Structure 1
Amino acid sequence: MRASCVLFTTLVALAAYYVYIPLPGSVTDPWKLMMLDAVFRGTQQVSNLIHFLGLGHHMLVLNFIIVSFGHKRAWSTAQVKVTDTDFDGVEVRVFEGSTGPEEPLKRGIIYIHGGGWALASAKIKYYDELCIVMAEELNAVIISIEYRLVPKVFFPAQVEDVVRSTNYFLQPEVLKKYSVDPSRVAVSGDSAGGNLAAALVQQFHQDPSLRSKIKLQALVYPVLQALDFNTPSYQQNANTPILPRHVMIKYWVEYLQGSQDFVEALIVNNHTSLDVEEATALRARLNWTSLLPTSITRDYKPVQPASGNARILQEMPQLLDVRSAPLLADQKVLRHLPKTYILTCEHDILRDDGIMYAKRLESAGVDVTLDHFEDGFHGCMIFTSWPTDFSVGIRTRNSYFKWLDQNL
């Protein structure tokens, strides 16, 4: 009996040691976040072990687990019709809000899910529920794109998928089929989906024939650049759940089909050191000492090694491609972009990506709303139902919906 108690106590202590991580005092629901992070870390470690044993690619294994536990079939509700189809060969899930007699045409929102270009799905619980509520509350048609993922495809295939499916949706006959007002269409996405949404809108607004077809863009904690992995938010939140810096960099390397041997060099910005000529012209577009407010920059210094590893950009030039890093776009591209909403969270390595993009867009004359949450963390907006119901998740979602309702 005594031995059993000792074993039980030891197991509890080990579990508590694994779950507990120090968090800033302003983080919402800290113990719940620790539990969520522990589950995600554990799943990643299992996936890495399976990869090490040669039994499957770790991203495929990790996504299989995520989708298996969260998959939802296309289930319509009394207010929202849900169907799975394809737009020009790209799978999509369509959510159609009911049309009232006072408004025969609905708003249209193209939604692009997050997941590091490698994980999640339009068909998992979190995104399915988000889009159902969005369609119902906004009386809108939501097109949630099931773009192809790493490691089956790599950049720029994901960009091509969202561009192709959006082009299909914007055809007059398709908009008519779904009773969507062609003057009220938005593009939106979170995290890596925010990255793809920003790239999509930039491409559309460089084409005069397509420029007027997107009324606005709404980006939720988007990942927008790979030039500098030592912005203040990358330094401040390097080990903050659920997206620590080394994990984000691994997603970048996987997306661009690079070598994982480069990860440690990327962490210290060796790919854009002062002697790497390819990065010189782009640094001015991402000078965070001028793009970020002093309240953020005062405790941090730029990390710019005098010499680094030029081979990284030789093998992964896409790190500085504006289709993968929309924050690096030229000002003449930015000035044509539509009204923009950007949601950022304090406890997120990507916080400064969003703030800097808002600043660059504003300088280009774009109407921008920056919606910042001091107690938010990366990914929080999709965590609104038990057991991963966070108060900040509900508040971010409501704020995002409110802006869409008022502006679309």
Structure 2
Amino acid sequence: MLVDAVLRTLVHTSDMAHALGLSHRASLLNQLVSWADVIEAHSCSTVHVTDSVLGGVPTRVFQPKGGRKLKRGIIYFHGGGWALGSGRMRSYDRLCRKMAKDLDAVIMSVDYRLVPEVVFPDQYHDALAASRAFLSSQVLEHYSIDPERLYDGLMYARRLQDAGVTVTSDHYEDGFHACMVFAYTPMMSSVGQRSMNNFIRWLDQNL
């Protein structure tokens, strides 16, 4: 599989650099990924995109044009195990752009700090600071977000159930970790597209 081969090559290259004392493996891997996939903020006909700061943490904001006066609000945290990735990567940018358009929602994609710059729980503290700012009346009013229609990526299944939200668990026989970010070109993963569309559909039904 092409994705597997590319990822293994990047990981082995980073491991070699780490062993030679040239760079921390996570730092080099992030540099390689950023060089290939991080893009600048740019708006389109349906979504206004800007880079901002939320609770002192860099954040990319996606605002749908038109639609309802009060928008749904979603704070999104990219994957990578607190060590890899960026909310400015093309794959996450496309996902958040689609969510903003399909859900008529303001999406805030948080760029928390990563290893080796910081160690856990600093990344969690970044996410918490951004979440608190996201829920503040100042931010909700500034972006015209409905305070009754919010989704925080830190809310896991148990917390959603405790809040009275029906939680489903979808299993994909052909699924793999982080498949959603491979939904677009050049990979066009079918399971990635299914998981992404089901995730957005769930948000539409429950948010």
TM class by shorter chain equals over 0.9
Give the 5 Å matches for 1:157-196. 157-188=122-153
TM-score normalised by the chain length of structure 1: 0.49
State the structure with bigger RCO (CA 8 A, min sep 6), 1 or 2. Answer: 2
Conserved? CA contact 1:94–1:143, under 8 Å: yes
Give the 5 Å matches for 1:322-333. none
Partner of 1:338: 160
Change (3 A) 1:366 1:79: closer
Give the 5 Å matches for 1:74-223. 74-100=41-67, 103-188=68-153, 197=154, 201=155
Partner of 2:194: 395
Unaligned segments of structure 2, at least 5 residues: none
Amino acid at match of 1:393: G
Give the 5 Å matches for 1:346-357. none
Conserved? CA contact 1:99–1:105, under 8 Å: no
1:52 to 11, 19, 33: 19
1:66 to 33, 52, 62: 33
Amino acid at match of 2:30: N
Partner of 2:172: 373
Partner of 1:8: none
Cα deviations by residue, 1:22-72 (Å, 9 ceiling, x for unpaired): xxxxxxxxxxxx111111001111111111111111110001000110011
Q: Does 1:386 align with 2:173?
A: no
Conserved? CA contact 2:58–2:111, under 8 Å: yes
Cα deviations by residue, 1:230-270 (Å, 9 ceiling, x for unpaired): xxxxxxxxxxxxxxxxxxxxxxxxxxxxxxxxxxxxxxxxx
Conserved? CA contact 1:59–1:118, under 8 Å: yes
Alignment partners' CA distance in 1, 2:136 and 2:164: 29
Alignment partners' CA distance in 2, 1:130 and 1:390: 14
Q: SS of the counterpart of 1:96?
A: strand
Q: SS of the counterpart of 1:115?
A: coil
Change (3 A) 1:365 1:165: closer
Alignment partners' CA distance in 2, 1:388 and 1:379: 13
Alignment partners' CA distance in 1, 2:177 and 2:131: 26
Question: 1:338: Cα distance to partner?
Answer: 2.7
Amino acid at match of 2:176: F
Q: SS of the counterpart of 1:133?
A: helix
Aligned residues between the structures = 207
Unaligned segments of structure 1, at least 5 residues: 1-33, 189-196, 202-216, 220-333, 340-360
Amino acid at match of 2:148: S
Q: Does 1:36 align with 2:15?
A: no
Alignment partners' CA distance in 2, 1:90 and 1:366: 29
Alignment partners' CA distance in 2, 1:338 and 1:401: 16
Change (3 A) 1:170 1:373: same
TM-align CA RMSD: 1.7
Alignment partners' CA distance in 2, 1:69 and 1:39: 12
Question: 1:115: Cα distance to partner?
Answer: 0.8
Structure (1/2) with the larger helix percentage: 1
Cα deviations by residue, 1:56-92 (Å, 9 ceiling, x for unpaired): 1111000100011001100111110111111121110
Cα deviations by residue, 1:193-239 (Å, 9 ceiling, x for unpaired): xxxx2xxx4xxxxxxxxxxxxxxx5x7xxxxxxxxxxxxxxxxxxxx
Conserved? CA contact 2:183–2:190, under 8 Å: yes
Partner of 1:249: none
Amino acid at match of 2:24: H
TM-score normalised by the chain length of structure 2: 0.95
Alignment partners' CA distance in 2, 1:406 and 1:140: 13
Whichever of the two has the greater Rg, that structure is: 1
